[in-house]
Chain A
Amino acid sequence: MYRIIEKKALNPTVTQMVIDAPFVAKKALPGQFIILRVDEEGERIPLTIADYDREKGTVTIIFQIVGATTEKLNHKEAGDTIPDFVGPLGRPTETEGLKKVCVIGGGVGCAIALPVAKELAAQGCDVTSIIGFRSKDLVILEDEFKAASKKFYMMTDDGSYGRQGNVCVPLNEMLAAGETFDEVITIGPLIMMKFVCAATKPYNIKTIASMNPIMIDGTGMCGGCRLTVGGKMKFACVDGPDFDGHEIDFDEAMSRARMYADFEAKEREETCNLFRKEVK
């Protein structure tokens, strides 16, 4: 069993938890993920490692409440336990040797982009960060990003905070003005990553996207997380989750991500009803 050490709401739908998991903490690197089960009947869900403390033996996860399992997880409090928490899984993000990088995070993906930005900054890399949210009340990790970045852009879709527009707006401006990067690293919704990759392609700037397909075991034994990259089949859990964004078939990935949409909607409804009853 893995104890929840701390729980903090970052915004109305995004929660941060610090989990006691010394084995994971000892080996975790930016870009890697864990798989957890919320209870003995639970499904296995992947979440990226947002931070870790090797000495305390803790791992930080940040998750958005999007369905039944994340809803149940959000009902756990500090001191509660979860039965399974396995990792680190996947390959770490490659940051070595990069001198100038643009890190682009969207929504809860910013929680995954942050450790990458921090790692790059720690290596003396010149980091530009662009983070985007739907609106002001969903903003997370702003100060942490600012601390890791030389240049920083805050975007909201509705303009309620920072600049109005999506993350591609400042990216396109910079690229058009002749700005260049060793690499662009993007983490967020598939549609956002698709457009970031489309924006950098004409400039031939290497772009890495952190993919988040449906997973079960996370160890390479089922292929549920398969993607087409450069015309070849790849398993995101072992070959990724990072891939060359200019090679990824995003339309296929978006389609596959919706495979269980009906089931998920029903589960979420039932879970919400369950918690509503408990509150009464």
Chain B
Amino acid sequence: MPKFNMNPLKNPMPSQAPDVRNGNFKEVALGYTAEMAIDEAKRCLGCKNRPCVAGCPVNIAIPEFIAKVAEGDFEGAYQIIAMSSSLPAVCGRVCPQETQCEGKCTRGIKAGCEAVGIGRLERFVADYHNANAKEKATPVPSNGHKVAVIGSGPSGLTCAGDLAKMGYEVTIYEALHVAGGVLVYGIPEFRLPKAIVQKEVDNLKDLGVKIETNMVIGRVISVEELMGEYGYEAVFIGSGAGLPRFMNIPGENLKGVYSANEFLTRSNLMKAYKADSSTPIQHGKTVAVVGGGNVAMDAARTAKRLGAEVHVIYRRGEEELPARREEVEHAKEEGIIFDLLTNPTRILATDTDNPRDPAYGWVKGIECIRMELGEPDASGRRSPKEIPGSEFVIDVDCVIMSLGTSPNPLLKATTPGLETLRRGEIAVDENGKTSIEGVYCGGDAATGAATVIKAMGAGKVAAKSIDEYIKSKNN
């Protein structure tokens, strides 16, 4: 058997066929078999300078875990990943590996060659562990220090996991009824099955992390009270960026207009896509999704699965779409229509003026204008300009606004002394320290909407700072 697999291309990912998967909510990518994983692992050269590790925001020992996979020691591989990552089954699925670990892989440098499928291997290893591990993780003996974590999204879960591994008594406070943040309310089941998120959360509970749901910090307990009467020595804020933006164009409050957050929360968190759900969701006939990011792709693909013809309306061109390439490709394969260089100007209502008419106040179309790209501005981005007189109408009965989100304002409003930046981001230094002693922050709450893995990286940095802070205070 040759030591290396010199195939220039990755082992392809087995997936549901596009015209099948766009009619169900089951996971699109089916994952490697053990044989495929071993074969793929053998493509790793085990380079000495390990560029892939530097590309990973949580610095997983990638060549080391892949070497274990190549030997067929999948549990050994898991243990190596677990030293750096608390959510490998999630990251293997949702990280933009092409700009991170795989973007740096030596195998991918030459034209016509592809990087090692690091994300696919991480996913395989985590799924193998979750399906086969017999022993649960056990809590590290307590060091007697308590830390509170606000928010159970990727940054909070990571920060909590790292602190628990160091012996801290960690309690996570979550506002919703389920832990996971964007992993449960935002990213759809067909990209990230909720059972997998639950499994990762359960792994953290096995480590001794307590999770209190239905706790809106700022309303039910203040940050000040957590640090005072509740006896936490430090607090990590991982409250995310959940506040949706709208365009402020006429017609945005018509029935049938959603923020992507609302549409996805109904579908993912409340399971409104199921026929027997007690939470309603509109099954539009023709849906316009406004925006071009990953959330727009998720909303578009969800609407498609609910039976709609779906248009993605984006003011720049294909090159400028902020969504991952792979997500755009998946969306296209599934039959999503892209209306590029197009921007909405207003949303049109049904013709009736009679409020008692059931048709009153519903969306019937979206008026758009064609755009062209101007010269690159100071930041190098070509800004879109309207082409006068090019307005046209797309007949739709549902519009989903996916224009990005801002940090949740509640903690800023209820925590005196907590400094924030221009768009409401909580101000932090490079160690995740806020303007209040003992209070740390990371993830979207500090950066504005970014990626799952960046939030995890920030949770990791904050856990280290919190450990140093509590140790120095108690010496």
Using an 8 Å CB-CB cutoff, how does the interface string of A66-84 with B read, 1 for contact, 0 for none? Answer: 0011000000000000011
Pairs across A and B, CB under 8 Å, 25 listed: A23-B215, A23-B220, A23-B221, A24-B220, A27-B219, A43-B277, A44-B270, A69-B278, A83-B177, A84-B177, A86-B175, A86-B215, A87-B219, A88-B219, A217-B176, A220-B410, A221-B185, A222-B265, A223-B259, A233-B246, A251-B355, A255-B255, A255-B355, A258-B358, A262-B358
B residues with a Cβ closer than 8 A to A are 175-177, 185, 213-216, 219-221, 242-244, 246, 248, 252-253, 255-256, 258-259, 261-262, 265-266, 270-271, 276-280, 282, 355, 358, 360-361, 405, 408-410
Contact A85 B358 (CB under 8 A): no
Contact A221 B278 (CB under 8 A): no
Least Cβ–Cβ distance between B180 and chain A, in angstroms: 14
Is A216 interfacial (CB-CB < 8 Å)?
yes
Report chain A residues within 8 Å CB of B271: 41
Contacting A228 at CB < 8 Å: which of B175, B253, B256, B410?
Answer: B253
Report chain B residues within 8 Å CB of A206: none
Contact B216 A87 (CB under 8 A): yes
Q: Which residue of B lies closest to A2 (CB)?
A: B214
Q: How far is the CA of A86 from the CA of B261 in the complex (A)?
A: 20
Report chain B residues within 8 Å CB of A227: 253
Contact B270 A216 (CB under 8 A): yes
| Other A-B pairs, 17, CB within 8 Å; known A221-B242, A223-B246, A238-B409 | A27-B220, A43-B279, A84-B213, A86-B214, A88-B220, A216-B262, A217-B175, A219-B176, A221-B243, A221-B244, A222-B265, A223-B259, A224-B258, A233-B253, A252-B253, A255-B360, A256-B255
Contact B278 A86 (CB under 8 A): no
Least Cβ–Cβ distance between A98 and chain B, in angstroms: 23
Which A residues, 184 to 232, have Cβ-Cβ distances below 8 Å to chain B? 216-217, 219-224, 226-228
Q: What does DSSP make chain B's interface, helix, strand, loop or mixed?
A: loop
Is A176 interfacial (CB-CB < 8 Å)?
no
Report chain A residues within 8 Å CB of B176: 217, 219
Q: How far is the CA of A262 from the CA of B282 in the complex (A)?
A: 11
Is A259 interfacial (CB-CB < 8 Å)?
yes
Report chain B residues within 8 Å CB of A233: 246, 248, 252-253
Using an 8 Å CB-CB cutoff, how does the interface string of A17-57 with B read, 1 for contact, 0 for none? Answer: 00000011011000000000100011110000000000000
**A-B contacts, CB under 8 A, total:** 115
Report chain B residues within 8 Å CB of A24: 220
Q: How far is the CA of A221 from the CA of B216 in the complex (A)?
A: 12
Q: How far is the CA of A27 from the CA of B218 in the complex (A)?
A: 11
Least Cβ–Cβ distance between A39 and chain B, in angstroms: 9
Is A177 interfacial (CB-CB < 8 Å)?
no
Contact B408 A256 (CB under 8 A): no
Contact A43 to B244, CB < 8 A, known contacts A88-B219, A223-B259: no
Which A residues, 222 to 268, have Cβ-Cβ distances below 8 Å to chain B? 222-224, 226-228, 233, 238, 251-252, 254-256, 258-264, 267
Of A84, A222, A224, A259, chain B has the most CB atoms within 10 Å of the CB of A222
Report chain A residues within 8 Å CB of B276: 41
Is A89 interfacial (CB-CB < 8 Å)?
yes
Contact A238 to B262, CB < 8 A, known contacts A89-B219, A252-B361: no
Q: How far is the CA of A260 from the CA of B282 in the complex (A)?
A: 8
Report chain A residues within 8 Å CB of B243: 220-221
Report chain A residues within 8 Å CB of B221: 23, 27
Q: How far is the CA of A260 from the CA of B283 in the complex (A)?
A: 11
Report chain B residues within 8 Å CB of A217: 175-176, 185, 265
Contact B262 A224 (CB under 8 A): yes
Contact A223 B244 (CB under 8 A): yes
Q: How far is the CA of A238 from the CA of B406 in the complex (A)?
A: 15
Of B175, B278, B355, chain A has the most CB atoms within 10 Å of the CB of B278
Report chain A residues within 8 Å CB of B278: 41-43, 68-69, 267
Report chain B residues within 8 Å CB of A216: 262, 265-266, 270, 279
Least Cβ–Cβ distance between B321 and chain A, in angstroms: 24
Q: How far is the CA of A89 from the CA of B1 in the complex (A)?
A: 64
Contact B242 A220 (CB under 8 A): yes
Q: Which residue of B lies closest to A39 (CB)?
A: B278
Q: Which residue of A lies closest to B360 (CB)?
A: A255
Least Cβ–Cβ distance between B372 and chain A, in angstroms: 30
Report chain B residues within 8 Å CB of A221: 185, 242-244, 261, 265, 405, 408
Least Cβ–Cβ distance between B413 and chain A, in angstroms: 9
Q: How far is the CA of A72 from the CA of B255 in the complex (A)?
A: 27
Least Cβ–Cβ distance between B303 and chain A, in angstroms: 16
Q: Which residue of B lies closest to A69 (CB)?
A: B278
Report chain A residues within 8 Å CB of B279: 43-44, 216
Report chain B residues within 8 Å CB of A88: 219-220
Least Cβ–Cβ distance between A66 and chain B, in angstroms: 14
Q: How far is the CA of A68 from the CA of B276 in the complex (A)?
A: 13
Contact B177 A86 (CB under 8 A): yes
Report chain B residues within 8 Å CB of A23: 215, 220-221
Contact B244 A261 (CB under 8 A): no
Report chain B residues within 8 Å CB of A220: 242-243, 408-410
Listed from nearest, the 6 A-B pairs whose CB atoms lie closest are A221-B242, A255-B361, A222-B262, A86-B214, A263-B280, A43-B279
Q: How far is the CA of A224 from the CA of B264 in the complex (A)?
A: 12
Contacting A87 at CB < 8 Å: which of B220, B266, B270?
Answer: B220
Contact A238 to B410, CB < 8 A, known contacts A84-B213, A233-B252: yes
Q: Which residue of A lies closest to B175 (CB)?
A: A219
Report chain B residues within 8 Å CB of A222: 244, 259, 261-262, 265
Contact A37 B219 (CB under 8 A): no
Least Cβ–Cβ distance between B81 and chain A, in angstroms: 31
Q: Which residue of A lies closest to B242 (CB)?
A: A221
Contacting A223 at CB < 8 Å: which of B213, B220, B261, B410?
Answer: B261
Report chain B residues within 8 Å CB of A251: 355
Least Cβ–Cβ distance between A145 and chain B, in angstroms: 28
Contact A86 B277 (CB under 8 A): no
Least Cβ–Cβ distance between B448 and chain A, in angstroms: 14
Least Cβ–Cβ distance between A74 and chain B, in angstroms: 15
Least Cβ–Cβ distance between A89 and chain B, in angstroms: 6
Q: How far is the CA of A55 from the CA of B216 in the complex (A)?
A: 21
Report chain A residues within 8 Å CB of B360: 255
Report chain A residues within 8 Å CB of B405: 221
Least Cβ–Cβ distance between B447 and chain A, in angstroms: 17
Q: Which residue of A lies closest to B246 (CB)?
A: A233
Contact B280 A85 (CB under 8 A): no
Q: How far is the CA of A87 from the CA of B280 in the complex (A)?
A: 23
Report chain A residues within 8 Å CB of B185: 217, 221
Q: How far is the CA of A194 from the CA of B277 in the complex (A)?
A: 33
Q: How far is the CA of A251 from the CA of B254 in the complex (A)?
A: 11
Least Cβ–Cβ distance between B440 and chain A, in angstroms: 22
